[in-house]
Amino acid sequence: MNWRHHLDWLKDYLVYFLTAKNRHGIHSPFVYNLSDVVLKLPISSSAQEELIAYKNDLINSTESIVIEDFGAGSRFLKDKRKISDIARISGSNMKTISLLYRLVNFYQPKRILELGTSLGIATNAMALAAPNASIYSVEGCAATHAQAKKHLAKYQRNNIELHQMNFANFFDQNDQVFDFVFLDGNHREEAVIEMLEKLENFIHDETIILLDDIRWSSGMKRAWQKTIENQNYHVTVDLFKTGLILKRKHQQKEHFLVKY
């Protein structure tokens, strides 16, 4: 993270910190419940142990792989990367993992789509939170896909279908409608907008979309702003690092900054 990006991040965080709301001042029942209940949902000690153990297994790995990166790449890692470095730097952090677990555990979606499996850290959290859900996770890089497949099998996550292909091919071959979508596979502005356009045919009015790293770059910030302004989505929720997106056409269009 260069100094200019770091300064922008600090400015964004200050604005978020000063303006984000807790349950008081939120008039949407859905977002009020999200803030007051879902984001504070307790995670059992056994679930926390499993979430941490999965990531620690990766951090303790001595393997290296060659990455075929279809997204915006990494600011810190080269194409040949240690599994431990990917888990520490590029893998979902525990705050995002806890958020995913809480969302999926509370809403119990039946069909989940993840675009960007990486090492399966987030995939594992969602599978643990909703063991009866059908989870479809798509990863373009063959080497990363193989690592995720190996580690998820070790933890016996049997409700996951892993697909090694680009996202466009998955949409071409898929006819499912998803209740929950986690977007973490491509950090380019145009790609994010394109993924959301593709998703139009694969979601319903109550589908929850979680977009990761909304402030990762200026391009991601522009993509997030365009999403906020998109008339197809009536509810957008800024949680600073991540953003929630829902159609909810029966609800007045509104954007929320919520403390998390």
Q: Does the pLDDT value for residue 203 go beyond 90?
A: yes
Q: Which residue has the higher pLDDT, 120 or 90?
A: 120
pLDDT for res 113: 98
Distance (Å, whole) CA 144 – CA 111 = 23
pLDDT for res 131: 96
Tokens 């984000």 identify what position? 20
Q: Does the pLDDT value for residue 233 go beyond 90?
A: yes
pLDDT for res 75: 46
pLDDT for res 22: 78
Mean of the pLDDT values across residues 108-119?
Answer: 97
pLDDT for res 157: 92
The pLDDT tens digits for 15-62 are: 888 888 877 778 899 999 999 999 999 999 999 999 999 999 999 999
Tokens 């297994």 identify what position? 57
Domain range enclosing 145:
3-257
CATH number for position 14: 3.40.50.150
The pLDDT tens digits for 156-193 are: 999 999 999 999 999 999 999 999 999 998 889 999 99
The pLDDT tens digits for 51-108 are: 999 999 999 999 999 987 655 444 445 578 899 999 988 767 899 999 999 999 999 9
Quickly list DSSP for 16-81: HHHH-B-STT---HHHHHHHHTGGG----HHHHHHHHHHHHHHHT---EEE----SS--SS--SEE
pLDDT for res 69: 66
Split into its structural domains, the chain has a count of 1
**DSSP 3-state of 244:** strand
Q: What is the mean pLDDT of the chain?
A: 91
Tokens 């063991």 identify what position? 131
pLDDT for res 2: 64
Mean of the pLDDT values across residues 208-223?
Answer: 95
pLDDT for res 1: 52
Mean of the pLDDT values across residues 189-204?
Answer: 95
pTM score of the predicted model: 0.92
pLDDT for res 27: 82
Q: Which residue has the higher pLDDT, 223 or 27?
A: 223
Tokens 């070790």 identify what position? 154
